[in-house]
Amino acid sequence: MPTLRRQVAAVTAVLALSVTAGAVGTPAFAGDDRQARKTSIATGYGGAVSTVDLDASAAAIEVLRHGGNAADAAVAAAATLGVTEPYSAGIGGGGYFVFYDAQSGEVQTIDGRETAPETMPADAFINAATQKPYPFAELVSSGVSVGVPGSLATWERALKRWGTLRLGDALQPAIDVAQDGFVVDDTFRQQTLDNKVRFSAFTPTSSLFLPGGDAPAVGSIFRNPDLAATYRLIAKKGTDAFYAGPLAEEMAATVQAPPKDPAWVPPASAPATSIPAFPGYLTTADLAAYTTLDQDPTHVEYRGYDVYGMAPSSSGGTTVGEALNILEPFNLGEMSTPAALHHYLEATALAFADRGKYVGDPAFVDVPTDALTDSLFGKERSCNINPATAATKPVAAGDVSTYDGVCPVAPAAAAHETDTENVSTTNMTVADKWGNVVEYTLTIEQTGGSGIVVPGRGFLLNNELTDFSYDSTNPEDPNRVEPGKRPRSSMSPTIILKDEKPFLALGSPGGSTIITTVLQTILNRVDLGMTVSEAIAAPRAAQRNTVNVTAEPGFISAYGSGLTPYGHKLVPAGDAFSSAAEIGAATAIEFDRHGRMEAAAEPARRGGGSAMVVTPAP
């Protein structure tokens, strides 16, 4: 593809020109220009993108403008997110890539999930002294939580299957942003502050992200020359330079002996903080053996739409799909808003019960994906929804071995499912002028991942293995730790077709609230009459089969009084590592029949996202 490569090189030159114009290296988008260009809604033609970040969306749009397709643009944006959203995604993590191929009319996926190292014991998370799992706060900042990264292999596979660019060319915009810098915004600074204590415990992490001992100031330029050099190395030598050779050796060594500052003590502000920095199990053999998986998507029909999602190892496709099947018999559009939301909350509790019982890595567990996405199973599960009263949580899982769509006797309550997934991650939606669509969710798990930067390489390693169940002694648990296994994910990149053409593509970060965010956004759009932008902006709540419903403050004030009579207990969202009471950070593109695309990003969450189109509508 020499022509296209030249074109992308030209793109890069354009970006680089604006970057190096200032004496000290002005980033591509600075000051007022930055604010002016960052918009959460963009409507037009010829291609579109929505990400959480201006620089990433710009990288995608430039690739599209110069003849690249949606897969090319998605990889360019993902690599850029690795620079500008380093606490959420990057080459130290993994993800799931969903592609609608306009030529074949098919949706296909790549599973780029991290895997457990081959020598990881099943009791790796268990404290031998107490026989109980270590607390998440200790496991997260450690080598033991690091899985074999899959993102780079995903990018290579996506380009090979569907793209036209070479990996090195797709990395070029990200190399420029890493080298020349980006403008620190409130979100980046706040995420750094939220992680300051644990980042300060690891020498390479504090020197990269806490220069001078503090989080970078809002409005300053953040450069990551180490990551630029790592990307350049990969651009030159290919993914082998990551999955083998010195970099692979350094990653394995870093995981096996996390670079904890020997002088570190908990700060006075958090004296009880314990960071044992447990060593992990990653070896160069694990890295050399890593492979992505080409997979068929999950599929359900919902009100005349074909909804395609990510099959296990993610629980996203089965759980969103099952909840839609549960809701299909109810006419949500005719109900009052509290009544429709009550049905939504009840449906997700049921679907989460089944996810907990049945979903794990299908290479290790017999996952009943067909049953979980069968409309008859969903119909039978819908019998458990009382239109007037919330069921006592947690609700029990259904029986996938015998179902016929007929209401069974009321089941007993199940054990509480501990939710240890967190609220980091990033997501993008990209479409091109040929009609191809990408929905891609990628992550390093917790915001800030393991907290461990590979020394001199400029990127954080994931803590994805904390997505396994911690107490892995239960042989019935499909998500127990097993060597070589992929931990169950909630990532739910979703592409919806209407009459075999794209209608809506969407996804979100947010740990297990990804599932509820994607579902709620679909319901907002399809059932409740909102536009796609309104559907994303609307306040969110997540019922994951727990006693309380996690909700944003805006949701509680708008619907709390309407939902309380049903028996729902709403509590504000938020966790120990995040100062924001937000759920998700969605992106989407809606398509009409005439090539018009509406790209939608968050107007406010995470500081607002960035939607762009190639040719704006007049």
Binding site for ligand GLU (CB under 6 A): 421-425, 443, 445, 464, 467, 489-491, 509-511, 514
Residue 312: which region, alpha, beta or left (left: phi > 0; alpha: psi -120 to 50)?
beta
* Choice between 384 and 425, CB closer to ligand GLU: 425
Residue 441 CB, nearest distance to ligand GLU (Å)?
8
C-alpha to C-alpha distances, 522 to 496, 518, 585, nearest whole angstrom: 9, 6, 14
Q: Measured in Å, how far apart are the chain's first and last C-alpha atoms?
A: 33
Q: Return d(Cα 293, Cα 563) in angstroms, integer.
A: 42
For residue 551, the minimal CB distance to ligand GLU (Å) is 18
Complex with ligand GLU: residue 325 or 489, whichever CB lies closer? 489
- Closer CB to ligand GLU, residue 342 or residue 544? 544
| CB 384 to ligand GLU: min, Å | 25
Residues near 288 by Cβ (< 8 Å), separated by ≥ 6? 243, 244, 248
Token pair in block for residue 29? 């988008």
Taking residue 489's Cβ as centre, other Cβ atoms within 10 Å add up to 32
Q: Which is nearer to ligand GLU, 421 or 482 (CB)?
A: 421
Instruction: Classify 38 as helix, strand or coil.
Output: coil
Strands (E), 16-112: 41-51, 94-101, 106-112
Q: Which of 203, 348, 420, 425 is catalytic?
A: 425
> How many residues make up the chain in this entry?
618
Decide: helix, strand or coil at residue 440.
Answer: strand
Q: Give the nearest residue (CB) to ligand GLU.
A: 425
H helix or E strand, kind and range, residue 299: strand 298-302
**Whole-number minimum distance, CB 446 to ligand GLU, in Å?**
7
| Residue with Cβ nearer ligand GLU (479 or 490) | 490
Nearer to ligand GLU, 69 or 490 (CB): 490
DSSP state of 123: T
Tokens of 89: 């995604």
Is there a catalytic annotation at residue 531? no
Query: CB of 134: closest distance to ligand GLU in angstroms?
Result: 18
CB of 113 to ligand GLU, least distance (A): 8
Query: 293: part of which helix (H) or strand (E)?
Result: strand 293-295
Asked if 515 and 348 count as a contact pair (C-beta separation under 8 A), the reply is yes
Residue among 40 and 489 whose Cβ is closer to ligand GLU = 489
Q: How far is the CB of 388 from ligand GLU (least distance, A)?
A: 33
Q: Is the dihedral of CA 405, 408, 410, 415 positive or negative?
A: negative
What gap in Å lies between CA 429 and CA 452, rounded to an integer?
Answer: 29
**Annotated active-site positions, please?**
425
